[in-house]
Amino acid sequence: MELRQLEHFVTVADERHFTRAAELLQISQSGLSASIRALELELGTSLFTRSTRRVELTAAGQALLADSMRTLASAAAAQNAVAAVRGLVRGRLTVGAEPCVGSVDLPAELGRFRAANEGVEVRLRYEGSVEILESVATGRVDVALVVVTGSTPAGVRLRPLTTQKLVVLCHPDHRFARRDEIDLQSVHAETLIGFQPGWGAHVLARRAFAAAGFDYRAAMEVNDVHPLLDLVGYNLGVAIVPQSFAAKRPGVLRAIALPDDMPEWTVVVAAAEEPSPAAAAFLDQLAQKNA
C-alpha cells in the first residue's frame, strides 16, 4: 500500500466520480482505475460500488477512509515540517467557502497567496457552511469561510470576521414591499425561496421558524445566490437572506427588516487549531487584510 494509492482512494471518495477525480489528480482515468483496483486486490475487498453516474463507498471503503485521511495528513505534515525548517512554505492549501458569504474577496486573496507562495498547490471548493465546516474538522479543507450555524467541531478554531442582520427580500410589487418590518408569521404564509440544506441562510431560517413554532419549507431551493435573486426578481416568492444580498440588486429588489431576535449572519474563518504551515500563512494574510 502506497501513499499515492491512498491519495487516489481519498480523491475518488471525495468526488464520488472517477473522471472528476482523475482530472483533479491530473492522471488518466485508466491509471486511476488501475491504482484503485491494485489497492482493492491488496486489501482483498471492494472499496467502491460503481454505477454509470457515480461511485459509492462500500462498508470496507468507509472503514478505510478515516485512516487514509489521517495517514495522508501525517505524511503532509512531515513534509511541511521539513520545508518549514528550510524557510519554505510547501504542500497543498485547500480552501473551502460558502458562495457569497461576503467579508473577503476570496479569488483576490487566493491570487495574492499563490503569487507569494509558488511552492503551494492551491485548491478551492464551494459548498454549504455545514458541509465545509465538517470538512475542516476531518482535514479535507484547511481554511474555510463559513457562516456560523451551530456548534464548532472539536479541533476547529473560528476567527470572526463580520456580522449582519437577516432580512426578507421581495419584489417591489409584493405586498411586503411597503412595510419597514415583517414578522415571521407573515413570512411563513408566503411562498418561500431558499437555499439547500447545509447553507447558512437555510439553517438560520429553519432555526428562527422553529423557535417561532413554524415549519420552514421552501417551495423553491437553489444552490447559488444569483438564481435566488432571479426568482425573487420575477416575484415568485420571498427569501430570507443577509442584508448584503440585497445590495446585489439595488433598486430592483426590496429588503424588509425582521424582528431583532432573529439569528444573525456571522461570517468566520475556520481552520484547525494547529494549522499546516500553508494554512497558517494564508490565515496570517487574511488577518493582515482585515486588521
With the C-alpha atoms ordered 229, 248, 130, 126, is the resulting torsion angle positive or negative? positive
pLDDT at 88: 46
Q: Phi, psi at residue 73, to the nearest 5°?
A: -65, -40
pLDDT at 80: 63
| Model confidence pLDDT, tens digit, residues 36-65 | 999 999 999 999 888 767 788 999 988 898
| Model confidence pLDDT, tens digit, residues 156-167 | 999 999 999 999
Rounded Cα–Cα distance for residues 19 and 203 (Å): 32
Any residues with CB less than 8 A from the CB of 152 and at least 6 apart, and which?
133, 158, 270
Task: Determine how many CB atoms are found less than 10 A away from the CB of residue 162.
Answer: 15
Residues of the chain above pLDDT 90, percent: 56
Mean pLDDT of the chain: 89
Rounded Cα–Cα distance for residues 260 and 241 (Å): 15
pLDDT at 119: 80
Rounded Cα–Cα distance for residues 122 and 112 (Å): 11
